[in-house]
Amino acid sequence: MILRSKAPLRISFAGGGTDVPPYPEERGGAVLSTTVNKFAYATLIPRKDDTISVKSLDYDIVAKYRTDEKLFFDGELDLVKAVINSMKAKQGLDLFMHSDAPPGSGLGSSSTVVVTLVGLFQKWLNMPLTDYDIAELAYKIEREDLGVKGGKQDQYAATFGGFNYIEFHGPTTIVNPLRIKRDILNELEYSLILCYTGRTRLSANILTEQVDKYVKKEKKSVEALDELKAICIDMKNALLRGNLQEFGALLHQGWMHKKKLASKISNPEIDKLYETAREHGALGGKILGAGGGGYLLLFCEFDKKHIIAEKLENLGGQIVNFGFEYKGLQSWVVE
């Protein structure tokens, strides 16, 4: 028997940062996001002994453990080890993993890997978990057990899939799937450019500064997070109405406020890419994820896209083809 699982990566349009504790516990957070056709994959093959063999196809790493040992975190395959510790497999297995985007790219890849693995073990062990259970367990494994700093949106986006307005109220998370007309979605997809900046980043350092500023109740930080939440609501409404010009303008406003959260969210290279895109017709955009690198998302007039793409590539950016993905976590058995 072979078991497989995949979950989609996400792009967050607005509200990122308001899902990072302690802001959602104190003021309530909200995020607007969708998943795209880039995935994290995992395959599990049960063994007849007590050996756990893990192979990362992306990093060409192979590691072996035993079912009766507690796995310690040392920087190598820690996400996998955290899931194995949590799911408590009693039988040996061969595990193969790979992802369409590297950690630190801003597409939520690390959290999506955890969701993919939880879904895989759920299928194998026949665990009665809802989508909310899976997302919450993935959050606990990554943020609490492993201690990786970050918010809650990525786990829920990868699990549920599609366009969602996600609300965070302390321990309660509410996923609101958005019913958007297909014409609007097609036009939005056609209007977006995804540009890889050429570097990944360690989001924990940026998030530490962001959280510290909020905890100290620095006025600029608190106001920026409040404004990001308000923009998220306005952007959701603009999308439901099909007002994509307003959507693009709000994307720009959100990026201006996001840059106030921490000093390393942007840098001269990112600013140059963004300013060049704006000069040649982009209505708005933002760095995805915590910032500092990864992917730059831009909303453009359709007849300016090719010009903007060429200018960004001249600056060293890499244009990446993508499409929206409407399904979340999927697991299946190969007999």
Q: Give the per-residue pLDDT at 58.
A: 83
Compute CA distances 200 → 60, 105, 150, 317, whole Å: 19, 5, 16, 13
Residue-wise pLDDT for 97-145, tens only, equals 999 987 777 888 999 999 999 999 999 999 999 999 999 999 999 999 9
> Across all residues in the chain, what is the average pLDDT?
94
Asked if 211 and 293 sit in the same domain, the reply is yes
pLDDT in tens, 287-301: 998 777 889 999 999
Q: Is residue 327 scored above 90 in pLDDT?
A: yes
Q: Is the pLDDT confidence value at 328 over 80? A: yes
For 212-240, what is each residue's pLDDT tens digit?
999 999 999 999 999 999 999 999 999 99
What is the band of 57 on the pLDDT scale with cuts at 50, 70, 90?
confident
* CB neighbour list of residue 154: distance below 8 Å, 6 or more residues apart: 10, 108, 110, 111, 112
Q: Strand 295-300 relative to strand 192-196: parallel, antiparallel, unpaired?
A: antiparallel
Contacts of 271 (CB under 8 A, 6+ apart): none
pTM for this model (two decimals): 0.95
Domain shared by 134 and 45, yes or no = yes
pLDDT tens-place string over residues 271-322: 999 999 999 999 999 999 877 788 999 999 999 999 999 999 999 999 999 9
Task: Quick: pLDDT tens for 3-49.
Answer: 999 999 999 999 999 999 999 999 999 999 999 999 999 999 999 99
Contact 166, 176 (CB under 8 A): yes
Residue 154 annotated in active site:
yes
Determine the pLDDT at residue 200. 67
Do residues 242 and 258 share a domain?
yes
What residue numbers bound the domain in which 11 lies? 2-179+325-334
Q: What is the CATH number of the domain that holds 107?
A: 3.30.230.10
pLDDT at 204: 64
Residues 100 and 231 in one domain: no
Buried b (16+ CB within 10 A) or exposed e, 123-162: bbeeeebebeebbbbbbebbbebbebbbbbbbbbbbbbbb
Q: Are residues 171 and 298 in the same domain?
A: no
**Confidence category of residue 81, pLDDT binned at 50, 70, 90:** very high
Q: Is the dihedral angle over the CA atoms 182, 186, 191, 192 positive or is it negative?
A: positive
**Dist CA 311 CA 55 (whole Å):** 39
If asked whether residues 169 and 214 sit together in one domain, one would say no
**How confident is residue 161, by pLDDT bands cut at 50, 70 and 90?**
very high
266 or 326: which carries more pLDDT confidence? 326
Are 207 and 112 within one domain? no
Residue 203: is its pLDDT beyond 70? Answer: no
Number of folded domains that form the chain: 2
Q: Which amino acid is at 128?
A: P
User: What three-state secondary structure class fits 242?
Assistant: coil
| Per-residue pLDDT, 90 | 84
- CATH for 275: 3.30.70.890
Strand partners, 41: 6, 98
CB 170 within 8 A of CB 29: no
292, two tokens: 């500092």
271 and 330 in a single domain? The answer is no
Residue 47: the pLDDT is 95
DSSP, res 71: P
Give me the pLDDT at residue 334, please. Answer: 95
Q: Looking at the structure, do residues 55 and 73 belong to the same domain, yes or no? A: yes
Catalytic annotation, pick one of 49, 154, 271, 303:
154
